[in-house]
Amino acid sequence: MLAASGELEPVMGGPSGPTTKPRRTIDTRVVRNTRDALLDAFDAPDGTFPTARRNTTTTATQALLLINGDWTLARAQTLAVRIERLEPTSTDDRGRIALAYRLTCGRQPNPMRSSRPPRS
């Protein structure tokens, strides 16, 4: 999401940042007595206790948080601004859709192919 929205910082290391900033979670500042909803949903270890083994789960809450969460919606808004900036003269939405597809999927979109036979 950070790469598609243009927010990914390729520099590794440096000072950690708060969870509200668009940064890779490996570079996120973790405060021991404060929980973060996004990190919590993906089984981030509790910083107050040593953890030898991390739990692994896949739940509907994770998917819903990625679809409806504030962090994800902020990345989507930033992606929309980036597309507007890179395709300002697009007279129809096709150019913007193709750009959005390239940024998010890394390739050109394919035309939709219907499984239904053509109408007579």
Strand partners, 17: 28
pLDDT in tens, 10-69: 777 777 777 677 777 666 776 666 776 666 676 666 666 666 666 677 778 777 877 888
Q: Quick one: average pLDDT of 65-91?
A: 88
Q: What is the CA radius of gyration of the chain?
A: 19
What is the pTM (predicted TM-score) of this model?
A: 0.62
User: In degrees, to the nearest 5, what angle opens at C-alpha 87 toward C-alphas 21 and 108?
Assistant: 90
Helix, strand, coil shares, percent, the chain, to 5? 40, 0, 55
Element housing 82 (H / E):
helix 70-86
Look at residues 28, 32, 8, 7 and name the one whose alpha carbon lies nearest to residue 19. 28
Residues above pLDDT 90, as percent of the chain: 19
Check whether 83 has a pLDDT greater than 90: yes
Residues 6/85, Cβ–Cβ less than 8 Å: no
